[in-house]
A and B are shown apart, each in its own frame.
Chain A
């Protein structure tokens, strides 16, 4: 019964947000374009033959970076920035009265944006294959499904981390600078700019204990058919979600108690 109700609410939210997002098609297209950094990196790697030292062929590396691009496209999270704006503008107060956690609203917003983004990402991939026809491949259905699941899990991890940071808005006014700080390790350690395999051993020894390689490197390796530990990666992703979710609930309940609305 309760599940049904949440389901219906989520579906409505999703519909509303999707039509909202469709209004901003051009922006989302631009946003999709702004994610092409992995392709520049690929260019450096292959143009200088750097991949020979890590035993990945040109084709596999280009698939890896294409998949990294895709995973990044569908795991971009900006909840801190929305929440910060809403809380500074005092929009959070009416949301708090509603019998639904406001984060469902943001969650639906992100999902709707991903649906809108999908065709643009496909167009970019299409151009990628025109320039690199030899890297075209079709992953088998099982792998495809698994990588969609792991991309979604990566999105969930990032959404939870950012939601926790967003809740800091209850204490400080500018939580987005903390998010920008957290973005740096995400950028360099997640595998967006260089596959984690290529990292020096002193980094590789501890990096798999952090959530970062599971954000992009693991799903991208999975999808591109590079070597990876599937069950290990998925279980680490799930483990991180189980660790982060209670933390989010805790900080949310503490924060809402602290919340004093505008002007008080």
Chain B
């Protein structure tokens, strides 16, 4: 019953935000070109790294491409859902419209995280998928059911971690009001997700797996694709994702206690 209600509401969200985004059709085209160029640019950068070296952090070029593909998919998901919605929190809090959200007979986190959608991100997700298919071909990966389910699990865990990271930062807006730049910091950290974790020095590796688990986001799913990953890593990712989702929920409810509405 409840789930059906949320599905119905989400359908309405989709309808309204798609309608408003499709107003800017040329914009979507420009965004598509941006996504393609961005992918070409990062492959170009990767090819510079591999110019005179066969391996980087134990990864071959073809294997490192998988990371690019997964990064592109995740980046597309970020651009479709996280970025348009979670930057909106800042606006809600500055202008005091969060009051309206809280008054609605619907979960506030659901409303805030899924209200908007940016269709140009879909194209990026598709681009990532094409690259992934290409990678599966050149790496001669044999598709099997267990492999598919494992990769699906790890990628969804990555999405959960990514969402929680964005949501954490956006929630701090309740105290600090303007956190656009904190989002920029997160973005620049996420950038290292384009490269295999092993290519960084030990201290950075620790930092990006313990403090900000960006390492989990792209490297572990790529290892699954290559059949290199150990079981404990996958389990660890599932645990980290669960903890992150749980804490992000708790943190939101905790932060709401401090929300004092506009001009009060």
| CB-contact partner of B184 in A31, A178, A198, under 8 A | A31
Tell whether, in the assembled complex, residue A24 and residue B178 are in contact, meaning their CB atoms are under 8 Å apart.
yes
Tell whether, in the assembled complex, residue A48 and residue B48 are in contact, meaning their CB atoms are under 8 Å apart.
no
The answer to whether the Cβ of B148 comes within 8 Å of any Cβ in the partner chain is no
What chain B residues lie within 8 Å of A40 (beta carbons)? Answer: 191-192, 200, 204
Tell whether, in the assembled complex, residue A177 and residue B178 are in contact, meaning their CB atoms are under 8 Å apart.
no
| CB-contact partner of A48 in B30, B53, B204, under 8 A | B53
| CB-contact partner of A193 in B31, B38, B45, under 8 A | B45
Instruction: Tell me if A's interface is mostly helix, strand, loop or mixed.
Output: helix
Tell whether, in the assembled complex, residue A27 and residue B41 are in contact, meaning their CB atoms are under 8 Å apart.
no
Q: How many residues of B contact A (CB 8 A)?
A: 37
What chain B residues lie within 8 Å of A198 (beta carbons)? Answer: 48, 51
| CB-contact partner of A184 in B27, B41, B56, B200, under 8 A | B41
- In the complex, what distance in Å separates the CA atom of A162 from the CA atom of B27? 17
Tell whether, in the assembled complex, residue B31 and residue A177 are in contact, meaning their CB atoms are under 8 Å apart.
yes
- In the complex, what distance in Å separates the CA atom of A199 from the CA atom of B52? 12
Distance from B75 Cβ to chain A, minimum over Cβ atoms (Å): 13
The answer to whether the Cβ of B144 comes within 8 Å of any Cβ in the partner chain is no
Distance from A16 Cβ to chain B, minimum over Cβ atoms (Å): 19
Tell whether, in the assembled complex, residue B200 and residue A47 are in contact, meaning their CB atoms are under 8 Å apart.
yes
Tell whether, in the assembled complex, residue B53 and residue A50 are in contact, meaning their CB atoms are under 8 Å apart.
yes
What chain A residues lie within 8 Å of B53 (beta carbons)? Answer: 48-50, 53
The answer to whether the Cβ of B206 comes within 8 Å of any Cβ in the partner chain is no
The answer to whether the Cβ of B182 comes within 8 Å of any Cβ in the partner chain is yes
Tell whether, in the assembled complex, residue B176 and residue A34 are in contact, meaning their CB atoms are under 8 Å apart.
no
Tell whether, in the assembled complex, residue B181 and residue A48 are in contact, meaning their CB atoms are under 8 Å apart.
no
- In the complex, what distance in Å separates the CA atom of A47 from the CA atom of B56? 9
| CB-contact partner of A36 in B56, B178, B188, under 8 A | B188
The answer to whether the Cβ of B187 comes within 8 Å of any Cβ in the partner chain is yes
Interface residues on A, range: 35 or more
The answer to whether the Cβ of A44 comes within 8 Å of any Cβ in the partner chain is yes
Distance from B172 Cβ to chain A, minimum over Cβ atoms (Å): 11
The answer to whether the Cβ of A136 comes within 8 Å of any Cβ in the partner chain is no
- In the complex, what distance in Å separates the CA atom of A35 from the CA atom of B181? 11
Contact string against A for B residues 32-51, beta-carbon threshold 8 Å, 1 for contact and 0 otherwise = 01100110011011011101
Closest residue of chain A to B33, judged by CB? A181
Contact string against B for A residues 16-35, beta-carbon threshold 8 Å, 1 for contact and 0 otherwise = 00000000101110110111
What chain A residues lie within 8 Å of B191 (beta carbons)? Answer: 37, 40
What chain A residues lie within 8 Å of B34 (beta carbons)? Answer: 177, 180-181, 184
The answer to whether the Cβ of A187 comes within 8 Å of any Cβ in the partner chain is yes
Q: Do A30 and B185 contact each other (CB < 8 Å), given the known contacts A40-B191, A48-B199, A50-B52?
A: yes
Q: Do A31 and B204 contact each other (CB < 8 Å), given the known contacts A181-B33, A181-B37?
A: no
Distance from B194 Cβ to chain A, minimum over Cβ atoms (Å): 10
The answer to whether the Cβ of A194 comes within 8 Å of any Cβ in the partner chain is yes
Chain A, range 160-175, C-beta contacts under 8 Å to B: 172-174
The answer to whether the Cβ of B130 comes within 8 Å of any Cβ in the partner chain is no
The answer to whether the Cβ of A232 comes within 8 Å of any Cβ in the partner chain is no
Tell whether, in the assembled complex, residue A200 and residue B48 are in contact, meaning their CB atoms are under 8 Å apart.
yes
Tell whether, in the assembled complex, residue B45 and residue A188 are in contact, meaning their CB atoms are under 8 Å apart.
yes
Tell whether, in the assembled complex, residue B44 and residue A172 are in contact, meaning their CB atoms are under 8 Å apart.
no
Closest residue of chain A to B34, judged by CB? A181
What chain A residues lie within 8 Å of B188 (beta carbons)? Answer: 33-37
Distance from B118 Cβ to chain A, minimum over Cβ atoms (Å): 11
The answer to whether the Cβ of A43 comes within 8 Å of any Cβ in the partner chain is yes
| CB-contact partner of A30 in B27, B48, B181, under 8 A | B181
Closest residue of chain B to A29, judged by CB? B181
Distance from B264 Cβ to chain A, minimum over Cβ atoms (Å): 21
Tell whether, in the assembled complex, residue B200 and residue A44 are in contact, meaning their CB atoms are under 8 Å apart.
yes
The answer to whether the Cβ of B263 comes within 8 Å of any Cβ in the partner chain is no
The answer to whether the Cβ of B24 comes within 8 Å of any Cβ in the partner chain is yes
The answer to whether the Cβ of B244 comes within 8 Å of any Cβ in the partner chain is no
What chain B residues lie within 8 Å of A50 (beta carbons)? Answer: 49, 52-53, 56
Q: Do A181 and B30 contact each other (CB < 8 Å), given the known contacts A40-B192, A44-B56?
A: yes
The answer to whether the Cβ of A185 comes within 8 Å of any Cβ in the partner chain is yes
Closest residue of chain B to A39, judged by CB? B204
Mind listing 13 A-B residue pairs with CB under 8 Å? A28-B181, A30-B181, A33-B188, A34-B188, A36-B188, A44-B199, A48-B199, A50-B56, A184-B38, A185-B37, A188-B42, A198-B48, A199-B48
CB-CB nearest 3 A-B residue pairs: A53-B52, A188-B41, A30-B181
